[in-house]
Structure 1
Amino acid sequence: MAVDKKDIEDVAEALGKKFDEFKEKNDKRIDGLEAEKGKLSGQVDTLNEKLSELDELKSGLEKELLALKRPDGTGSKAASEHKTAFMQFVRKGIDNGLGDLQAKALQIGNEADGGYAVPEELDRNIIELLKDTSPMRQVCNQITVGSPDYKRLVSLGGAGSGWVGETDARPATGTPTLGQISAFMGELYANPQATQTSLDDIFFNAEGWLGEEVSREFSEKEGSAFTSGNGLNKPKGYLAYEMTLENDKIRAFGKLQKLISGVAGGLTADNLIDLIHSLKAGYRANARFMMSNLTVAYVRKLKDERGDYIWQPGLTLGQPSTLLSYGVTENEDMPDRAADANAVSFGDYKRGYTIVDRIGTRVLRDPYTNKPNVGFYTTKRVGGMLVDSQAIKVLALSAE
C-alpha cells in the first residue's frame, strides 16, 4: 500500500494526543502522593513506550514517502549486461563471461581470492539500505574510495596573523601545521543462505533478498564499530577516541571534550543545555543529540526551569521530534544511562566523523559447504575516522 501525506498526518495527530496524555500522567506522578506514584509510574512508562513507537512510525512513513519520489536510476548498457550476468551467477552459479562484463562495467577485475563484485546498482542499493538502518550513516559524512585505505590532511592551526598599519611592512606569516589522519579500515563479511529451490523460482526476488540480508548483517556490525569500535580490523568509533575535560582552546587535536553530569548515573536539563553550548556556534547549526532509546525515554520526562518539557514531538510532515529544539538520533549502540557511562553526545556528525566505503561489494557463491543450501559469502571493506574533534561533545554520567 502506497504511503501518502494523510497517513503521516494521522500518525502525527496520534503522537500529539499521546504526548498530552503523557504530560498529564507524568505531572501527576511528580506531584502526586507517595501511594499513587507507583501506579502512575507504570502508566507513564507505558505512554513513554507508545510515544517512541509513534515517533518511529512517523519517521518510517516519511522515509517511505521520500523513497516513492526518488527517481529510478538508469545504467549504461555495460552495467545492464553485468547485472544480468551477475544474477545468472547468483541463481545458477553460471559465471561464463562475468569477469569480462564486470571489468567493462566497473573497471575492476577479479580478486585473487575469487568471487565477483556486485553490480553497481545493487551495491548502491545496499548502501541505501544501510543508511536506512544505521543511525551513524544517517548523520555522518560518507565517501567512497577505490583504494583499500584512505588518508587525508587536516589543519592543526599555526598560520600567523595580525594587524598592521596601511604603510607598515607585512611580516611573513607562519606556515600552518598539517597532520595526516587515516581511516581505520576493516572487512565486513556476511554469509546469507538460500535453498536452490528458492533460487530456481522465477518469482523469488533474489536481488532484493541478497541486498536486504547482507545489509541487515552489515548494519548490525557497522553501527557498533562506528560508535565504539576499537579500530582493530574494524572502524574506530568516535566514543573510542581519547576524551578530556579540556575545552577547545587548549585541547589537542584528536581528543574529544567530555562534560560530567554531576548526577550519579543521571542527567538534568541543565546538563543538556551545557552540552549544547560547549559546542561552538558554527557547529550548532547542523548539530543533533545522539543517545539510546532508554536514555531518550528518560530525558523525555525532564523539564526546564520554567516547567516546560524539553522534548517536543514533531506534529507535521517533515518536522522531527526535538530535544531543546535539536534533533535526536536514537542509536542503540550508545551506552545506556548508567554510572560513568558516555550516554549522550551532541554535535555536527557530518563534520566530525567520516565513514569510508571501498567501492565494490564482492560475492563468492558456495553451493557445497551447507548442502542443500547455497551460501553467498559477501565481503565489503569499510572504515571510519574522527576528522574534526571540535564537532562532537560527550556527556558522561557521574559515577556512583
Structure 2
Amino acid sequence: MPGGADPTGEVKAALTRFASDIKSFNDDIHIRLQQQEERLTMLDRKSLTPARPVLSRSADADAPHQKAFEAYVRSGDDDALRGIVVEEKSLSTAVAGDGGYLVDPKTADVIRSVLRSNASLRAIANVVNVEATSYDVLIDHGDLGSGWATETDPSSETSTPTFERITIPLHELSALPKASQRLLDDAAFNIENWLAARIADKFARAEAAAFVAGDGVDKPTGFLTHPNVAEDSWSWGNIGYVVTGADGGFNGTDPADCLFDLIYALDAEYRTGASFVMNSKTAGAVRKLKDADGRFLWSDGLAAEAPARLAGYPVLIVEDMPDIASDACAIAFGDFQAGYTVAERPDTRILRDPFSAKPHVLFYATKRVGGDVSDFAAIKLLKFAVS
C-alpha cells in the first residue's frame, strides 16, 4: 500500500481505543449510579426517621388516657390524668373537678354498645348528642297552601305556619358499683371491662324504664306517661289508642282484628318505619293469634339478631311495658324514630370514692340523658278494654 501503511494494525489500534473508551464510559456510569443510590438512601432515612414516632402516636392515640384512667381507678392516682388535661386542653380527654374524670374511649365505647344493644326504646328511637342542658324539637303543624292557577291569575297567600316546640331537658343518670381494694390490686382483674359492664347494665335498665313510664321528674318522660285518648278524639299532646273489644284480653270472636285496627290508626307516612313494642308476657299471648286462614301473624326473625315480626312489622321486646290487664295499654305501635327522641351528652364521668364504704371502693358514674315524645301522631296504643 502507499506509504507502507499497515491497515490491519490501524484497525486493531482503533478497536483497542474504542474498547478502552467503552470501559471508561461504563465505569463512569456505574460510579454515578452508585453515588445516586447512596444519596437516595440517605434521603429515605431522613424522611422516614421522623415519621416513625408520628405513626406510633397515631396508632396508640388513646393509650395514654387509658393507662392513666386505669391507674386512677385502681389506686386513685390521678397525676397522669391531670397531666393529660394540662397538655391536651384542646382535646378535652379528661376533666377533673365537677363529677370526676371522663372514662377512657375504650370503656365509653363498651358502654354505648351495651346501651344500643339492650332491649330498650333507644334501639328504635331518635338518639341525638347535645352539649347543652336541653334539646328542642320543632314540629310544623301547618299545611302549605296550594292550588291551580293560570298564567295571569294572582296567587293567593299561604297560611302562616304553626310550630310546636318540645323541650327535652337532660337529667343526670348515675350508677354506683363497688369493688374491694384487694380485687383492684389484682393485676389479672380487668378493671375496665368490669366497670364498663356494671355501669352499662345500671344505665340500660334505668333508661329503659324511664323511656316507657318515666314521670319527667329528674328523669326522662316516658311515652306512656302522656294522656291517652280514643283515636276518634285524638288531638296533639295525647297518644291515641284503639281497643281490643274485651276487658283485659283479646276479643274472643275476632282476636286479631284489633291489631289491624292499631296498624291502620297510624298514618301512612309513619307506617313505613313502624314497630310494635311489648313485653315478653304480651308477646307470648300475641304469637298465638292467627288470621282468617289459620296462619300465625307472628313470625320469628330469619337471622340470629333479626327481630320477630307481627303482621309484617318488627317487634321490640321491652320488659318495662305493662302486662295485659284491664284497661292496660300493653302494646304500642308507631314510628319511634319520629315519635320519641333521646337526647344525651356523649361523655360518661367516673368519681372514685375509697372512703364511704371501706374496705370497698365506690365508683360514682354519671351521664346526662333526657327523652320525651317528639311527635304525638307517630305512636298509637292498643288498650285492653271494651271501649
How would you bin the TM-score normalised by the shorter chain? 0.7 to 0.9
Alignment of 1:121-270 (within 5 A): 121-247=106-232, 251-267=234-250, 268-270=255-257
Match of 2:316?
Answer: 329
Residue in 2 aligned with 1:93? Answer: 76
Taking the aligned partners of 1:98 and 1:85, their CA distance within structure 2 comes to 6
Confirm whether residue 284 of structure 1 aligns to residue 271 of structure 2.
yes
1:342 is aligned to 2:325: no
Q: 1:184 to 1:394 in 2, by over 3 A?
A: farther
Residue deviations 1:292-326, cap 9 Å, x none?
10010001111112222111223455654221111
- What is the CA-CA distance between 1:236 and the residue it aligns to? 0.3
Aligned equivalent of 1:314, options 284, 296, 301: 301
SS in 1 for 2:240: strand
Aligned to 1:295: 282
CA contact (8 A) 2:119 2:316 kept: no
Identity of aligned residues (%): 40
Q: 1:108 to 1:255 in 2, by over 3 A?
A: farther
Question: Does the 8 Å CA contact 1:83/1:119 hold for their aligned counterparts?
Answer: yes
Mean Cα deviation higher: 217-226 or 117-126? 117-126
Q: Distance in 2 between matches of 1:206 and 1:399?
A: 54
Partners of 2:106 and 2:197 lie apart in 1 by 14
Conserved? CA contact 1:160–1:175, under 8 Å? no
Tell me: CA distance 1:389–1:104, structure 2 relative to 1, closer, same or farther (3 Å).
Answer: same
Please give the alpha-carbon distance, in whole angstroms, between the structure 2 residues aligned to 1:196 and 1:271: 57
2-structure distance, mates of 1:180, 1:78: 41
Aligned to 2:378: 391
User: Is 363-372 or 103-112 further displaced after alignment?
Assistant: 103-112
TM-score (norm 2): 0.78
Larger Rg: 2
Cα deviation per residue 1:1-54 (whole Å; 9 max; x = unaligned)? xxxxxxxxxxxxxxxxxxxxxxxxxxxxxxxxxxxxxxxxxxxxxxxxxxxxxx
Distance in 1 separating the partners of 2:324 and 2:243: 13
Shift in Å, 1:136: 1.0
Match of 1:80 in 2: 63
User: Which deviates the most, 369-378 or 175-184?
Assistant: 175-184
Q: Is the 8 A contact 1:99 1:116 kept in 2?
A: no
Aligned residue in 1 for 2:21 = none
Structure 1 residues 123, 223: closer, same or farther in 2, change over 3 A? same
In structure 2, how many angstroms separate the alpha carbons of the residues matched to 1:80 and 1:185? 31
Q: Which amino acid aligns with 1:379?
A: T
Q: Secondary structure at the match of 2:376?
A: coil
Asked if 1:369 is matched to 2:352, the reply is: no
1:378 maps to what in 2? 365
Could you say what secondary structure the match of 1:216 adopts? helix
Give the deviation of 1:276 after TM superposition: 0.7
Q: CA deviation at 1:78?
A: 5.6
- 1:47-91 CA deviation, whole Å, 9 max, x = no partner? xxxxxxxxxxxxxxxxxxxxxxxxxxx977664322221111011
Residue type at the aligned position of 2:215: N
Q: Report if the CA contact (8 A) 1:266-1:337 is conserved.
A: yes
Aligned-residue CA RMSD (Å): 2.3
Measured after TM superposition, the shift of residue 371 of structure 1 is 1.1
**Deviation string, structure 1 residues 196-246 (Cα, Å, up to 9, x no partner):** 122122221111111100011111111110011111110001111122224
Contact 1:314 1:320 in 2 (8 A): yes
| Conserved 8 A contact 1:78-1:104 | no
Check whether the contact 1:261–1:395 (CA below 8 A) recurs between aligned residues. Answer: yes
The answer as to whether partners of 1:339 and 1:399 remain within 8 angstroms in 2 is: no
Please give the alpha-carbon distance, in whole angstroms, between the structure 2 residues aligned to 1:147 and 1:79. Answer: 26
User: Which whole-Å CA distance do the structure 1 matches of 2:176 and 2:152 have between them?
Assistant: 71
Letter aligned with residue 309 of structure 1: F
The TM-score normalised by the length of structure 1 is 0.76
Counterpart CA distance in 2 for 1:100 and 1:141 is 37
Compare 271-280 and 169-178 and name the one that shifted more.
Answer: 169-178
Find the aligned partners of 2:91 and 2:311 in 1 and give their Cα distance.
Answer: 46
Give 1:275's aligned amino acid. Answer: L
Counterpart residue type for residue 160 of structure 2: T
Give ranges in structure 2 of 5+ residues lacking alignment.
1-56
For 2:260 and 2:141, how far apart are their aligned partners in 1? 28
Give secondary structure in 1 for the equivalent of 2:170: strand
**Matched residues in 2 for 1:397 and 1:180: separation?**
32
Query: Structure 1 residues 170, 322: CA separation in 2 closer, same or farther (over 3 Å shift)?
Result: same
* Structure-2 separation of matches of 1:120 and 1:129: 14
> Which region of structure 1 is more displaced relative to structure 2, 76-85 or 223-232?
76-85
Paired residues, what number? 325
Aligned to 1:119: 104
